[in-house]
Structure 1
Amino acid sequence: MKFYNSVGPNPRMVRIFMAEKGVTPELVDVDLRGGENRQSDYMTKVNPMGQLPALVLDDGQVITEITAICEYLDEIGKGDSLIGKDARERAETRMWTRRIDLHICETMGAAFRFGPGLKMFQSRIHCIPAAAEDFAQIAQEKIAWLNDQMDGKEWVCGDRFTMADILLFAFLEFGANVGQAVNDNNKNVIAWMERMKARPSAAA
């Protein structure tokens, strides 16, 4: 397998997941800042959406979208499932992954692309600079909501470490580097972040 890798929270999330599952595909670094992923060669041969990351299987099939990649890796990798061992656990993991993706990752990403990252993204996607601050505020509101939901929990799904934790960690780490750090009042989330940082996979 080949994993088309770059800077950014999306590839970071999958790299952590791969480390947790003991999967080591060949890494192919793509220059995201330079727009290599938007060139015809990448869009024709790998991902017509021009996005990263992408996983190319040995038979040539390409899988994109981070949760889809991770679900595939979960099935072929080592150790316990990071999605769930039964229908109930899988539903819970997917529920929290969807909530985090929609309400925190998407809003945090939009705030960056429309604000600090505008120069890089304005020629690639439709940007709304006037909305950058609002998206950043929405992300923080949802982090505060999640903080309340995390009360008494070790991980997002209680005592189960899952894909939802990895997704959240990759984006909160990204946010801290682009002016969207978690508010100090969110003690549950901050304590959870320290537990995430302590995992060997955090070095991926």
Structure 2
Amino acid sequence: MKLYQSLGPNPRVVLMYLAETGIAVDHRFVDIMTAENRQPGFRAKSPLGHTPLLELDDGRCIAESLAICEYLGEVLGGHALLGATAEERARTRMLVRIVDQLVVVPMTAGFRGAEGLPMFESRVLCLPDAAADLKRLAADGLVQIDRIVGAGPWLAGDRFSLADVLLYCFVEFGAMVGQPPDPALANLVAWQGRVAARPSAAASANPQYGIGEPA
């Protein structure tokens, strides 16, 4: 298998997942700043040009960070960070969807319509007129997440999960693109500090984590 990585919060989700689980996969770095992911060679593997992308040994490919993590966890990691039981896995998927819908989607669209517009306007549909409202949606999503986290320590209570990885990568991304969490969200701020202390947080901050000599 080969993992095609790049800059960005979605690729970081997979990098952090790998760092947490110790799963080893061959890597290749894709330069999205020069639109390498939009070139025919990469589009043949990922029609939408999305990174990260996992290429299986038979040449078939799996895109989308959460799908990649679930696949790797199932075939190599024994459902790592998903849950040991059907109930735990269902709760993880529930929390992942909540984070995705309340934070990831509006935060990403808000960024693309504002700070990221010069890069993305020729690549995907952007909504500059709606950017401010999308950012407000993401900020409200973080308020809802603060309630879910509560005293924690993690989104799923005592169990660190893929939902924590997803949320952390996008909270960190938001802070870099003008969408930091409100400091008044005490539960979320404390949770962020706990995740930041995990070795996987520092390891995944390097977009070329796990990459050795170019393949």
* TM-score, normalised by the number of residues in structure 1: 0.96
Q: RCO higher in 1 or 2 (8 Å CA, sep ≥ 6)?
A: 2
The alpha carbon displacement at 1:24 in A equals 2.0
Size of the alignment, in residue pairs? 203
Does residue 44 of structure 2 align to residue 33 of structure 1? no
Partners of 2:81 and 2:162 within 8 A in 1: yes
Any idea what SS the aligned residue of 2:34 has? coil
**Whole-Å Cα distance in 2 between the matches of residues 79 and 86 of structure 1?**
11
The alpha carbon displacement at 1:161 in A equals 0.5
Aligned to 1:76: 75
Partners of 1:10 and 1:53 within 8 A in 2: yes
The alpha carbon displacement at 1:80 in A equals 6.8
Identity %: 45
Any idea what SS the aligned residue of 1:33 has? helix
Partners of 2:135 and 2:179 within 8 A in 1: yes
**Whole-Å Cα distance in 2 between the matches of residues 79 and 198 of structure 1?**
25
The alpha carbon displacement at 1:77 in A equals 3.4
The alpha carbon displacement at 1:78 in A equals 4.2
Aligned to 1:150: 149
CA offsets 1:89-109 (integer angstroms, 9 cap, x no match): 111000000010111001100
Aligned to 2:173: 174
**Whole-Å Cα distance in 2 between the matches of residues 201 and 73 of structure 1?**
17
Partners of 1:21 and 1:77 within 8 A in 2: no
**Whole-Å Cα distance in 1 between the matches of residues 58 and 191 of structure 2?**
39
CA offsets 1:29-62 (integer angstroms, 9 cap, x no match): 1111111111111001x20111111011222221
Partners of 2:37 and 2:43 within 8 A in 1: yes
Tell me which amino acid in the other structure corresponds to 2:195.
M
Does residue 43 of structure 2 align to residue 43 of structure 1? yes
Tell me which amino acid in the other structure corresponds to 2:128.
P
* TM-score, normalised by the number of residues in structure 2: 0.91
**Whole-Å Cα distance in 2 between the matches of residues 149 and 2 of structure 1?**
35
Q: Which stretch shows the higher mean deviation, 157-166 or 54-63?
A: 54-63
Partners of 1:21 and 1:73 within 8 A in 2: no
Segments of structure 2 that go 5 or more residues without pairing to the other structure are 205-215
Aligned to 2:129: 130
The alpha carbon displacement at 1:126 in A equals 1.1
Tell me which amino acid in the other structure corresponds to 1:188.
N
Any idea what SS the aligned residue of 1:55 has? strand
Does residue 190 of structure 2 align to residue 191 of structure 1? yes
Any idea what SS the aligned residue of 2:33 has? coil
Aligned to 1:65: 64
Any idea what SS the aligned residue of 1:143 has? helix
**Whole-Å Cα distance in 1 between the matches of residues 49 and 115 of structure 2?**
21
Any idea what SS the aligned residue of 1:24 has? coil
Segments of structure 1 that go 5 or more residues without pairing to the other structure are none
Runs of 4+, deviation exceeding 2 Å: 76-81
Aligned to 1:87: 86
Any idea what SS the aligned residue of 1:69 has? helix
The alpha carbon displacement at 1:145 in A equals 1.3
Tell me which amino acid in the other structure corresponds to 1:198.
A
Q: Which stretch shows the higher mean deviation, 77-86 or 97-106?
A: 77-86
Partners of 2:110 and 2:135 within 8 A in 1: yes
**Whole-Å Cα distance in 2 between the matches of residues 121 and 56 of structure 1?**
25
Partners of 2:70 and 2:79 within 8 A in 1: no
After superposition, the CA RMSD in angstroms is 1.2
Aligned to 1:8: 8
